[in-house]
A and B are shown apart, each in its own frame.
Chain A
Amino acid sequence: MKDVADAAGVSVMTVSRAFREDASISAKTRSKIREAADRLGYVFDNTAASFRTKRTGFVAVIIPSINNANFAETVRGLSDVLSQNGYQVLLGYTNYKAEREEELVEQFLSRRPDAIVLTGGAHTERAQNLLRNAAIPIVETWDMPTFPMGHVVGFSNENAMKALVGHLVTKGAKRIAFIGGDSVEDPRGRSRRLGFLAAMEHFGLDASRLIDAGEPPISMTEGASAMEALLETFPDTDAVACVSDLCAFGALSTAMRRGITIPGDLMLAGFGAYEIASVAVPSLTTIDAFPRAIGEQAAQIILETNANSGPVSKTKIEIEPELRLGRSTRRDQ
């Protein structure tokens, strides 16, 4: 088929469509392809075609935001693996709204994707029903849902934050504050805040230093104002954990403007191992949840599930996030 495509100067997809009498191919293109096929003696394999008609060759991926390097990495991991195997990845973004996810699920399912990848485990009831009826592989990512819709590639945001708080405590912090994770629209942010609360309780420390950052996405600017609020409300804070690195970088800039030394006066940590964490001065201590690996693993599940056409058990892959130490929490004791 590749030869026919080359001879006719069109893509393989176009050749396939032309033989399937797809309406999107003009009569002119079709006859050009037919001529090329006849010349090359190419016979269109009908069994392959009927097998393929069940496949549409695209995978739908739904992410909360298109302005977030973490989700961008996951999408890249997905696309890298899937495109090598002939799949196209198409994206929808919800802007952290469950109703938008429902609309996107509906839009995508009506076009029969070969699989659908979702972010997190919180979906509207209707979206859940639509997904249950879809009979295609479903992968939920970035979280460990209690009742998964299908396959899962994620991690516990709560546990990851617990580990981060543990690090701050070993560095001698006692009056630790948390910025963000206050919105119902960001379940992962909330889990991180829960992790903070649980860890503080575990260490017998006061967990009341909570600063809201508002609706997601939390930008650097919002991180900067949240830090202003923190310094006003709890001036004796000795360490701050932020819901993300972007938020933490904003907080860092506020500290610098106010002449507060990081980590001397105050230790600071983020979440997500964004680029900014490694280039910031001082570099930020953060949690790497391996977003690209999340995408790659999800893609592998899709490939394996679609290769075995029979019923496949639900796969659950839990990624182990890693603590990445930066200078923002480096204190010699």
Chain B
Amino acid sequence: MPERKKNGKATIQDVAAAAGVSVMTVSRSIRGVDGVSSQTRTRVRQIAKEMNYLPNSNASALVRSSSKLIGISIPTLFNEVFADMMMGMRRTFEQAGYSSVVDTTDYDREREKRFLERLLAWQPAAIILTGTDQPNETAALIKERNIPCLQIWDIAEKPIDLCVGIDHQKAGLALGRYLAGLGYRKPAFIGRPMGSDTRADARFKSLETTFAEVGGAVPRRINVSSDNDFNLGAEGFGQIDWRDPPDLICGLNDHVAVGIMFAAEKAGRSVPEDLGIAGFNALGITEVLPTRLTTMETPRRELGLVGARNLLARLNGVAPDPVTALPCRIVEGQTTRQMA
């Protein structure tokens, strides 16, 4: 058992001496590059591990290909959608030996840019961003360094590098047409203020389009600023003018819709008899609700899985499709009904 240096960190020289190999061999073994037998690599890594040797990433990052770090930017930890996509990516990256560092932006693109500036100094293997609405400046930061980049959850004609997402406009249209097809004509939409979530805005726009198609009322938009989606739904419900009631309320997502359901129950409005409710995403809570929520199921795990595979292909020098859109599926729940 090699001895560890007292009161100090083991250096690459210490590891080389303990393993009886050259410093270069240690370096190659740790970085996982060719030129070392797998037997030697395993032995050197084992010794380095026992000695608690920490390679200095600033030095090793100079060799671009050796970096095994992926930087991920998501808007918030308070949303299952992003967590689900990351769960979908996890196995692929773990098996390939990548580790990730995560930043939350709170939907603030400036914060995302600051994260990228730090990350880029670390020479990451790849970058994953949520959405495709980054400012040009951010895109340029990544492009000029030619770092593989995956934009996930939304699609764009011209992604920074790769994108895997759903077509939010199309998904909104499909949901809107389904609801209009049931006979609903006076929809309301409860969400966050315009501009804070461009994907939700795209879906709202699609609702406007579909209800205009069938000659329905212009969807009323109720905006609430709240971190808590359940409360957002309940508060939004409280702002509805019942002198001219809507026949349908769409939530920004399922949690908002669940907040609306609970509020409707407390207010004594029966769903779906008096009022239809629809969500978006088919989040985990919809699996346990006693009343099945009408919603649009988004393929979050699959997005993560396909995204990770495409990015990995890109890292291995293969050129995957730059734009991949996955389909969504209507969940015909019990919170809406066929209108007379």
The reply to whether A220 and B77 form a contact with Cβ atoms under 8 Å apart is no
The reply to whether A107 and B52 form a contact with Cβ atoms under 8 Å apart is no
The reply to whether A276 and B284 form a contact with Cβ atoms under 8 Å apart is no
Chain A binder among B37-45, B156-164, B285-293: B285-293
Nearest CB in chain A to that of B56: its residue? A110
Asked if B64 is an interface residue, CB under 8 A from chain A, the answer is no
Q: Chain B 215-230, CB within 8 Å of chain A: the 1/0 string?
A: 0000000000000111
Chain B binder among A38-46, A68-76, A144-152, A160-168: A68-76
Q: Chain B 239-270, CB within 8 Å of chain A: the 1/0 string?
A: 00000000000000000001100100110000
CB within 8 A of B122: which of A91, A111, A280? A111
Report the Cα distance A26→B117, complex, angstroms: 12
Chain A contacts of B336 at CB under 8 A?
A: none
Asked if B18 is an interface residue, CB under 8 A from chain A, the answer is no
* CB contact under 8 A between A66 and B82, given known A91-B101, A111-B57, A253-B290: yes
Chain B binder among A126-134, A169-177, A202-210: A126-134
Asked if A159 is an interface residue, CB under 8 A from chain B, the answer is no
The reply to whether A88 and B118 form a contact with Cβ atoms under 8 Å apart is yes
CB within 8 A of A71: which of B77, B100, B266? B77
Question: Which of B122, B288, B290 has the largest number of chain A CB atoms within 10 A?
Answer: B288
The reply to whether B78 and A24 form a contact with Cβ atoms under 8 Å apart is no
CB within 8 A of B288: which of A17, A58, A250? A250
Report the Cα distance A14→B83, complex, angstroms: 31
Q: Chain A 277-307, CB within 8 Å of chain B: the 1/0 string?
A: 0011100000000000000000000000000
Chain B contacts of A184 at CB under 8 A?
A: none
Nearest CB in chain A to that of B97: its residue? A103
Q: How large is the interface on A (under 10, 10 to 19, 20 to 34, 35 or more residues)?
A: 35 or more
CB within 8 A of B118: which of A58, A108, A110, A220? A58
Report the Cα distance A94→B80, complex, angstroms: 17
Q: Chain B 52-82, CB within 8 Å of chain A: the 1/0 string?
A: 1011111000000000010000101110101
Q: How large is the interface on B (under 10, 10 to 19, 20 to 34, 35 or more residues)?
A: 35 or more
Nearest CB in chain B to that of A221: its residue? B287
By DSSP majority rule, is chain A's interface helix, strand, loop, or mixed? helix
CB distance from B30 to the nearest CB of A (A): 11
Asked if A120 is an interface residue, CB under 8 A from chain B, the answer is no
Nearest CB in chain B to that of A97: its residue? B94
The reply to whether A220 and B288 form a contact with Cβ atoms under 8 Å apart is yes
Report the Cα distance A146→B31, complex, angstroms: 37
**Total contacts A-B at CB 8 Å:** 118
Chain B contacts of A178 at CB under 8 A?
A: none
A-B pairs with beta carbons under 8 Å apart, 20 shown: A14-B117, A17-B121, A23-B121, A57-B118, A66-B83, A69-B77, A72-B78, A89-B103, A90-B103, A91-B102, A93-B102, A110-B56, A126-B52, A130-B52, A220-B288, A253-B289, A275-B229, A276-B230, A279-B234, A279-B259
- Residues of chain A touching chain B, judged by Cβ–Cβ distance below 8 Å, are 11, 13-14, 17, 22-24, 26, 57-58, 65-69, 71-72, 75-76, 79, 88-93, 95, 103-104, 106-111, 126, 129-130, 133, 219-221, 223-224, 249-250, 253-254, 256-257, 275-276, 279-281
The reply to whether A220 and B285 form a contact with Cβ atoms under 8 Å apart is yes
The reply to whether A92 and B49 form a contact with Cβ atoms under 8 Å apart is no
CB distance from B317 to the nearest CB of A (A): 24
Nearest CB in chain A to that of B87: its residue? A67
CB distance from B295 to the nearest CB of A (A): 16
CB within 8 A of B104: which of A13, A79, A249? A79
Asked if B107 is an interface residue, CB under 8 A from chain A, the answer is no
The reply to whether B262 and A279 form a contact with Cβ atoms under 8 Å apart is yes
Report the Cα distance A16→B229, complex, angstroms: 40
The reply to whether B121 and A24 form a contact with Cβ atoms under 8 Å apart is yes
CB distance from B301 to the nearest CB of A (A): 12
Nearest CB in chain B to that of A22: its residue? B121
Chain A contacts of B121 at CB under 8 A?
A: 17, 22-24
Report the Cα distance A22→B115, complex, angstroms: 16
Report the Cα distance A13→B230, complex, angstroms: 38
Chain A contacts of B290 at CB under 8 A?
A: 253, 256-257
CB within 8 A of A281: which of B9, B101, B113, B265? B265
Asked if B84 is an interface residue, CB under 8 A from chain A, the answer is yes
Report the Cα distance A116→B234, complex, angstroms: 38
CB within 8 A of A91: which of B52, B103, B144? B103
The reply to whether A11 and B266 form a contact with Cβ atoms under 8 Å apart is no
Report the Cα distance A11→B111, complex, angstroms: 11
The reply to whether B54 and A219 form a contact with Cβ atoms under 8 Å apart is no
